[in-house]
Amino acid sequence: MRIAVTGASGNVGSAVVRAALRSGAEVVGVVRRVPPDRAAPPGTQWVRCDIGAVDADASLRAAFTGADAVVHLAWAIQPSHDRRRLIRTNLLGTEAVIAAAEAAGVPHLVHASSVGAYSAGPKDRLVDESWPTDGIPSSSYSRDKVAAERLLDAAQNRLETVTRVRPALVVQKRAAAELLRYFLPAIARPVARVPLPLLPLPDRTVTQVVHADDVADAVLRILAARPGGAFNLAPADSLGPDALAAAFGGRRVPLPAGLLRTAATATWTTHLQPVDVGWVDMLLGHPLLDSSRARGELGWSPLHTAADALTDVIAGIRANAGDRSPLLRPLRIFS
């Protein structure tokens, strides 16, 4: 099987490439920045392409020609203050990937959506893939995930098979540095390496965390079975505010959601930290995922619980873990 993977050097992409190579597949990794050593593993070909560029179409068609499937994982989270750049990658780039897959005659497109595509939902029960996908309006990340799904809806009849995966927050030890770059200002990153004795969190801070290797396993199962439609990907357990605080080495201090929103707005507006209030609203508002379809139709059973996955990435943060790609490289501030 020949698989083209956009965003192949990122958190999810690196895990998918590893899993695909173990399965014996031939991988074409489409990346904006090729890993500096350029020593691709056997069976892997790197293609440099900025999917949001005006000239991306030709490069993408060439990369996708002869592929049995395209796994679209490329996505921009930062710079959060520059909506034009985010839209360029997330929406114009997704349009380009869909068009190139169609032009190249690729029979299967797998798109990485997110729990962020879902409308606000319950924290005391799980929801399946039929939950509304109208997003969290205050979150630009959520709005872009919704818009990308609408692009897939419009292309559904032009492509043979379209599958979208909607994972919970995806983590792994190797992605610790990438996640810190996305969500913490440089001045605060060293603090993340030590236990946090007190962590202020609202009551609705209840979430799921899924390991990147488990997402990759699900993607490989989808590539083998070629089902259409959407698949939630999350372990059965969820983490509440007390469990989250304990995982970071301390205890939780109750915090009103309104106060957290005010603080996030003020510090993001003044460029003190990179996370806008939409991330707070998404954390507090997103539903918990029922992954029964993936378990039943794909035989998917994650090897990591949510607690395991969080422990793994926290260990990565403490060890300044990373990988060779520009996105996953360890942080210099820790060296």
Q: Tell me the pLDDT tens digit for each residue of 268-309.
A: 999 999 999 999 999 999 999 999 999 999 999 999 999 999
Q: Tell me the pLDDT tens digit for each residue of 84-102.
A: 999 999 999 999 999 999 9
Percent of the chain with pLDDT over 90: 87
Q: Report whether 160 contacts 102 (CB < 8 A).
A: no
CB atoms within 10 A of CB 225: 11
Is 334 a residue whose pLDDT tops 60? no
**How confident is the model at residue 20, as a pLDDT?**
97
Q: Residue 200: phi, psi to the nearest 5?
A: -75, 120
Cα angle 83, 86, 91 (rounded to 5 degrees) comes to 115
Q: Report whether 87 contacts 132 (CB < 8 A).
A: no
- Give me the mean pLDDT over the 125-129 stretch: 98
- At the second CATH level, the architecture of 2-170+209-235+288-305 is 3-Layer(aba) Sandwich (3.40)
3-state secondary structure 230-276: EEEECCCCCECHHHHHHHCCCEEEECCHHHHHHHHHHHHHCCCCCCC
Q: Report whether 110 contacts 165 (CB < 8 A).
A: yes
**How confident is the model at residue 186, as a pLDDT?**
84
**How confident is the model at residue 37, as a pLDDT?**
65
Q: Which residue has the higher pLDDT, 190 or 21?
A: 21
**How confident is the model at residue 333, as a pLDDT?**
62
**How confident is the model at residue 325, as a pLDDT?**
82
Token representation of residue 265: 């707005």
Q: Compute, in degrees rounded to 10, the torsion defined by CA atoms 31, 36, 38, 42.
A: -80
Q: Tell me the pLDDT tens digit for each residue of 141-175.
A: 999 999 999 999 999 999 999 999 999 999 999 99
**How confident is the model at residue 335, as a pLDDT?**
46
Among 300, 311, 287, which residue's Cα sits nearest to residue 235?
A: 300
User: Could you give the CA distance from residue 186 to residue 173 in angstroms, rounded to a whole number?
Assistant: 19
Token representation of residue 185: 């200002």
Is 41 a residue whose pLDDT tops 70? no
Domain ranges of the chain: 2-170+209-235+288-305
Token representation of residue 126: 């799980």
- Give me the mean pLDDT over the 25-41 stretch: 81
